[in-house]
Structure 1
């Protein structure tokens, strides 16, 4: 199957040599070293696709949790697949089809394999676990008690499932079959089960061994908004609006009147009320959910909320209170990723202004394109033209640092690579936003929760 990806590469004869890449980049477009903005966006989207195409788990064809280029045991964890990252991968593959990076018919074949695997994998009242074994479909525990359904990871997967359904539902016979498979998967999730017997809040986890012992209610604000949107939209196992407003919005008490660097926070980010949390909170729920002029009873404009969040992070980097070498307008972005431990080894942490260790995660700026197109483009151009060592076999590596002598970890995580191409595409064409927001069941769910969007005629 890897040869299929080569077809997409040949189609553009390697993007850096193209004078006019797809989407019709103009000859007078601002460029550095001869690369237009359009060529750079094509390049990084194509590179990120490799993670989900060339390096997919070989049996299920879903996204491996991680890929370590430097692993002395290259087969280590090769069959551990991630539910949420696979959802992001579905959307990355759609971008690849739409832009001609991969053949449509080959993508459909792969997506059918993925759908069949998901249909036979372990599910817990319809929800999948955080990790699964790609050979068997059995749960791989994420923690001792986290060995059952993970509703948030399931939501990230279903966000992708719905975009696949919408993209192919009017296609040929094989594509319509794929769309039906995806629809069946979506309708099988028992969202209302995760209210723990009717409490007016959703819970993250349920285990057949430990029940509700993890006890993690989904109360805003963090990355989990999409879970409530999908739960309300479900035509089979839905929740009511009261669950959203009492649970997620904390009875409307999660608003904030605080600002940072002149940008209103709008809501209280959980545990990060001063600066906002890591930037994936502005990304994971919004690969399909279009925040543009989107409102509910509490938040007047979700785009402003997310744009302000990103700009606070960006301005924090410019202020650079810890004096890290390299932080500047071209090199910024704090989010969860691999990190450099004090002894030089590689770890993992959720980077943010309140947890700043001198590490820049490329996915942070690249997945913020819809909110900060100029600032994100500056980062994209810098990392591809000035820091080639930070670029590997599937695009920018997961974590980098100019401060630590241009340190980088030659590793990738699905959840980080998986937001890059979809969010850049939403900036470029709105593809995934249009697919998700125009889905009839999603529109009904948004209306149930009193969301409004003139763009999609949701009133």
Structure 2
């Protein structure tokens, strides 16, 4: 832009007086002022903006004492539940920090320092036969009950955390002295989980154990849902491994996990618990697969790439069909999964959105975290939200947790378990980094082999 003084000198030089008329050639015609067009971000620029902003959840808004991921963050009320940290969401956060270091959002020294703080905290936090609880007080390390009887070990949340630990270990294992020390701390922590204890002497894993209520919650891990990674971690343990029979008889229900159903001409492949017509909420295609690479991954029950891609496409096609006529649903506005939700009175609640439980609420994490399966459809969603609904949906840690065009409503808050998969799957889509680190861990490979998996991509 030409400054005013320079512009005046230029006018004088061209023979114009201050009245705007030429001394030689008549009046000067002032060119029209044109506003430069808004330059749209390229796809890669857009993904980087979203990934970097989402990373802030795990870096800028983590719990200060522990370094762990807060269960939730509400920008309008940052003190709300500020000391409640989440085990599973922190596992996703460990992977997010690895991605952040790789992309230069933070330095490796900064990442190592934060990860060392997290490892030290987890070493002193309450554990129950090696498993951490769902919620922990980030100040004291004591369990915060998730429910009356849910005041002990949470094996599923622990498995999400452990997958992150292994990823960090693999990233740091050949690094500096400080990085190797962090890797060793996480290696020791994950090897302390007593997976076999959580079979309760049966051929299946159980989600919870409480020192007060023992096995009273009685929640066996039977497929299919988000818990595949729990069996993989339990089979991979070099210290407390489960027998393969627990996977085949418990998780796979002696073959009963397999489904012959189709939707929109796409096979569901496995029986989604309680959601056998369309498949369950989309986080079932995300949580287990942040480190576990479904590309070319098979066992005798499923091709896991086909399983997750079909699940995602069915969810997408449902939104395109839009049988309930919710405003906005379509090719660039889709994605049903568990997130904050809108209660009937307009207040904020929580719900497991899916085609069989559609409340007119879209969860950005659903489409964004599915980018590895549906890149074109996911990028169309991201661009629509960012370019057309940014003022409603965009905040300090990326897209808010839930949005509804139909009700003109937004849940202006965040959850660790929703922001984490966005960050991690964007990285996996762009580079495959977290998949490569996790899948090349020797214990992971051996655990998968023990359960009868094959991966053409990783050579087993």
Question: Do these two structures clear the TM 0.5 threshold for a shared fold by scoring above it?
Answer: yes
Name the CA distance, whole Å, in 1 between partners of 2:156 and 2:421: 16
Name the CA distance, whole Å, in 2 between partners of 1:379 and 1:70: 26
| 3-state SS, counterpart of residue 443 of structure 1 | helix
Match of 1:158 in 2: 162
* Superposition deviation, residue 33 in structure 1: 4.0
1:179 aligns with 2:222: no
> Does the 8 Å contact 2:55/2:96 carry over to 1?
yes
| 3-state SS, counterpart of residue 347 of structure 1 | strand
Match of 2:144 in 1: 140
Match of 2:410 in 1: 408
Question: Within 5 Å, which residues of 2 pair with 1:1-400?
Answer: 33-71=39-77, 74-196=78-200, 198-299=201-302, 301-388=303-390, 389-400=392-403
* Superposition deviation, residue 454 in structure 1: 1.3
| 3-state SS, counterpart of residue 400 of structure 1 | strand
Deviations 1:285-315 (A, max 9, x none): 000000011011211x100000000000000
Match of 1:13 in 2: none
Name the CA distance, whole Å, in 2 between partners of 1:320 and 1:178: 49
| 3-state SS, counterpart of residue 297 of structure 2 | coil
> Does the 8 Å contact 1:33/1:385 carry over to 2?
no
Name the CA distance, whole Å, in 1 between partners of 2:44 and 2:327: 30
Deviations 1:141-160 (A, max 9, x none): 00000000000000000010
Name the CA distance, whole Å, in 2 between partners of 1:296 and 1:163: 23
Name the CA distance, whole Å, in 2 between partners of 1:92 and 1:383: 22
Match of 2:35 in 1: none
Deviations 1:408-432 (A, max 9, x none): 0110000000100111111111100
| 3-state SS, counterpart of residue 457 of structure 2 | helix
Name the CA distance, whole Å, in 2 between partners of 1:47 and 1:440: 33
* Superposition deviation, residue 240 in structure 1: 1.1
5+ residue gaps in structure 2?
1-37
- Structure 1 segments (4+ residues) deviating >4 Å: none
Name the CA distance, whole Å, in 2 between partners of 1:256 and 1:323: 29
Deviations 1:314-364 (A, max 9, x none): 000000000000101111000000011111100000000011000000000
5+ residue gaps in structure 1?
1-31
* Superposition deviation, residue 76 in structure 1: 2.2
| 3-state SS, counterpart of residue 454 of structure 2 | coil
Match of 2:21 in 1: none
Name the CA distance, whole Å, in 1 between partners of 2:333 and 2:189: 40
Name the CA distance, whole Å, in 2 between partners of 1:352 and 1:76: 28
Name the CA distance, whole Å, in 2 between partners of 1:68 and 1:424: 23
Name the CA distance, whole Å, in 2 between partners of 1:169 and 1:178: 9
* Superposition deviation, residue 43 in structure 1: 0.7
Larger Rg: 2
Deviations 1:48-105 (A, max 9, x none): 100010100010010000011233xx31210000000000011111111111111110
Deviations 1:124-167 (A, max 9, x none): 00000000000010000000000000000000000101000000
| 3-state SS, counterpart of residue 187 of structure 2 | helix
Name the CA distance, whole Å, in 2 between partners of 1:271 and 1:278: 11
| 3-state SS, counterpart of residue 455 of structure 1 | coil
TM-score by structure 2 length?
A: 0.91
Deviations 1:22-63 (A, max 9, x none): xxxxxxxxxx94200000110111011000101000100100
> Does the 8 Å contact 2:73/2:80 carry over to 1?
no
| 3-state SS, counterpart of residue 44 of structure 2 | helix
Name the CA distance, whole Å, in 2 between partners of 1:452 and 1:160: 22
